[in-house]
A and B are shown apart, each in its own frame.
Chain A
Amino acid sequence: GAGVSQSPSNKVTEKGKDVELRCDPISGHTALYWYRQSLGQGLEFLIYFQGNSAPDKSGLPSDRFSAERTGGSVSTLTIQRTQQEDSAVYLCASSPGAANSNQPQHFGDGTRLSIL
């Protein structure tokens, strides 16, 4: 079956613009995660959804970052008033299980975001 799908694969935008990144998880996966991978920082957790709820938003770096998930499926990560330090690869993952399950997380190929 299809894996986790992310779009766009690449995004270049000017500082100050808003961007939306989309994640389509594996069908039937109830858990969805956003991570950010930047040079020198490694992979950092941003937010976790269980269904349409986000019980853990602790990794969002500022109030310019928000995310939503609708219908227990597609999720959108929005960055407002982008800054150069937002340049990174944004990765989405999904897993089938409820909280505290031992199911592995399956990752998409990411969106490479470049802020000019």
Chain B
Amino acid sequence: KQEVTQIPAALSVPEGENLVLNCSFTDSAIYNLQWFRQDPGKGLTSLLLIQSSQREQTSGRLNASLDKSSGRSTLYIAASQPGDSATYLCAVKGGSEKLVFGKGTKLTVNP
């Protein structure tokens, strides 16, 4: 059974810092990995999707990497801003259509 773990559960940083969020998964036979952002009381916003054959994806200040063999992904956020404060969720898609989610990292960026 696939399990996804995100560390740390919460992170507080000053504005302008570069930071890394971690995601690990137990079954390396994944189809893709997706990073989401969730603001309080809202649904999930897709940030980046990395296919199993890819090593990384970039969008603006965000860069996600994937090491499938070791079961790890990282989300790098450059020059963090208070507007980046949210919960970040990692999810993997395996042999079925469903996504298996981690419990998220709650990020607070302080002005």
Q: Which residues of A contact B (CB under 8 A)?
A: 4, 6, 31, 33, 35, 42-45, 48, 50, 55-56, 58-59, 91, 93, 99-100, 102, 104-110, 112
Residues of A within 8 A of B91 (CB): 43
CA–CA, A112 to B41, complex, Å?
A: 9
A sample of 13 inter-chain contacts (CB < 8 A) reads A31-B97, A33-B98, A35-B101, A48-B98, A50-B97, A55-B97, A58-B96, A102-B49, A104-B34, A104-B46, A105-B34, A107-B46, A112-B41
CB distance from B37 to the nearest CB of A (A): 11
Chain B residues bordering chain A, tally (CB within 8 A): 23
Q: From residue 73 to 111 of chain B, which have CB atoms closer than 8 A to chain A? A: 89, 91, 96-104
B43 located at the interface, meaning its Cβ lies under 8 Å from any Cβ of chain A in the complex: yes
Other-chain residue from B31, B41, B51, B101 in contact with A42 (beta carbon distance below 8 A): B101
Q: In this assembly, does B42 line the interface, its C-beta being within 8 Å of a C-beta of chain A?
A: yes
A109 touches B43 (CB 8 A): yes
B43 touches A105 (CB 8 A): no
**How far apart are the CA atoms of A106 and B91 in the complex, in Å?**
13
